[in-house]
Amino acid sequence: MKHKMLVFVAILLCYSGFSQNPQQEIKEDFKPSSKNQPGQEYPQVNSQGYARFRIVAPAADSVRVSLGLGGQGGTKLEKNKEGVWMGTTAGPMDEGFHYYHVNVDGGTFNDPGAKNYYGSVRWESGIEIPAQDKEFYALKNVPHGRVQQILFPSPSTNTSRRAFVYTPPGYLEHTDKKYPVLYLQHGWGEDETAWSNQGHANLIMDNLIAEGKTAPFLIVMTYGMTNEIKWGGLKDFDIKHFQTVLVDELIPYVDQNFRTIADEEHRAMAGLSMGGMETKMITLNKPEVFSHYALLSGGTYSPKDLQNHKDLKLVFISCGSKERPEAVKNSVEELKAAGFNAISYISEGTAHEFQTWRRSLHKLAPLLFN
């Protein structure tokens, strides 16, 4: 099991995030990224998915951006006469959100033109490559839910811990209504802000609800205690600590302080990457807690894994087409043959990145609590 975990993380974390289209003439239709700081013109992206960077560092000898084609060490910038460093990725990037940072003379810094997002166990710069299907997570003129921060007591860790709770449109008005809950986990290097900030989970839900494509439910997002594990140290990861926080502390708090339908049938767990691994471990350890399981680039289930899960309503497994789609498809076919309600989803043209997981949540949500 430990060996499988090491291989699992190596596969999931070592992705490049670039499109493998052949070299093409770069169109000069660059526009500021939607993830830029207010009033900042750079970084920019064009209609083909290329990214262009501009860093003012006249005294620097070397500037490189970590984002770029896989295996090439990112994008090397060139200094002009004004002391401004500029450069464009060698090829188009995958659609969607990407983390990156800037290396100046060996030091690691964030791009002052971009907003920051927590990933890779630090606040990284972020850039958005416009996707053809971006409307499903766009900010639209529809009724919006709320994402609120909560602090819940955690005796097992001797502190109060933070979580974010999405409540759907109408939650405040319809005080006699109770809701199912999805517990949604981030990946390694990230935290409880990831699904709202990078993933736009709240906007995905708002739009689906407005279109009548999903029943409203709550989403709870908390820190999965993933980042105490250093690179290569997954063999030392013990799920019992987070399992205690989630099952014995957070879920009772949410059920007590929000209008939930507090039973297994109306409770789901999902996670991306290492959060998917946590989802698998906890759902196998605690089959009486959740009835809907979802692994987003987070491994697979086998029929043997689930042989004692009699009240299981749904198994959803997804990944990007640049990951291991055949493993996902094969797993789901085996589960179906064994009589489980299992569904696979493959995000076309993406790897181990947030566009895969945004799309996965968009496909998963309408399947929950039916």
pLDDT tens sequence across 2-11: 334 433 443 3
pLDDT of residue 10: 39
Instruction: Name the residue ranges covered by the structural domains of the chain.
Output: 31-130, 135-367
Q: Does the pLDDT of residue 342 top 80, yes or no?
A: yes
The rounded percent of the chain whose pLDDT value lies above 90 is 88
Which has more confidence, 234 or 261?
261
pLDDT of residue 170: 97
What residues does 68 pair with on adjacent strands?
none
Q: Mean pLDDT across the stretch 180-189?
A: 97
AA identity, residue 114: A
pLDDT of residue 135: 98
Long-range own/partner contacts, residues 210-213 (CB < 8 A, 24 or more apart): 210/140, 210/142, 210/143, 210/169, 213/365, 213/366
Among residues 188, 186, 194, 273, the alpha carbon closest in space to that of 227 is found at 188
pLDDT of residue 235: 73
Q: Does the pLDDT of residue 12 top 70, yes or no?
A: no
- What CATH code would you report for 31-130? 2.60.40.10
Beta pairing class for 292-296 and 181-185: unpaired
> What does pLDDT average to over the chain?
93
pLDDT of residue 73: 75
| Tens digits of residue pLDDT in 217-231 | 999 999 999 888 776
pTM of the model: 0.92
Q: Does the pLDDT of residue 320 top 90, yes or no?
A: yes
| Tens digits of residue pLDDT in 293-318 | 999 999 999 999 999 998 999 999 99
The rounded percent of the chain whose pLDDT value lies above 70 is 92
Q: Does the pLDDT of residue 18 top 60, yes or no?
A: no
Q: Mean pLDDT across the stretch 254-261?
A: 98
Confidence band for 212, pLDDT divided at 50, 70 and 90: very high
pLDDT of residue 17: 55
- With beta carbons less than 8 A apart as the criterion, state whether 27 and 47 touch: yes
pLDDT of residue 21: 52
DSSP3 helix / strand / coil % (the chain, rounded to 5): 25, 30, 45
What residues does 78 pair with on adjacent strands?
86
* The Cα angle at residue 51 between residues 47 and 57, in degrees rounded to 5: 145
Beta strand extents in 114-180 (DSSP E only): 116-119, 122-129, 146-154, 159-167
If phi > 0 it is left, if psi is from -120 to 50 it is alpha, else beta; for residue 130 that is beta
* The Cα angle at residue 255 between residues 254 and 256, in degrees rounded to 5: 90
* The Cα angle at residue 309 between residues 321 and 332, in degrees rounded to 5: 20
pLDDT of residue 5: 42
Question: CA–CA distance from 289 to each of 292, 309, 316 (Å)?
Answer: 10, 11, 17
| Tens digits of residue pLDDT in 53-97 | 999 999 999 999 999 865 567 999 999 999 999 999 999 999 999
Confidence band for 236, pLDDT divided at 50, 70 and 90: confident
The C-alpha atoms of residue 150 and residue 192 are separated, in whole angstroms, by: 11
The H or E element containing residue 316 is strand 314-320
Q: Does the pLDDT of residue 352 top 70, yes or no?
A: yes
pLDDT of residue 19: 54
AA identity, residue 174: H
Q: Does the pLDDT of residue 292 top 80, yes or no?
A: yes
| Tens digits of residue pLDDT in 149-178 | 999 999 999 999 999 999 999 999 999 999
- What CATH code would you report for 135-367? 3.40.50.1820
Question: CA–CA distance from 170 to each of 16, 215, 221, 303, 318 (Å)?
Answer: 41, 12, 20, 39, 30
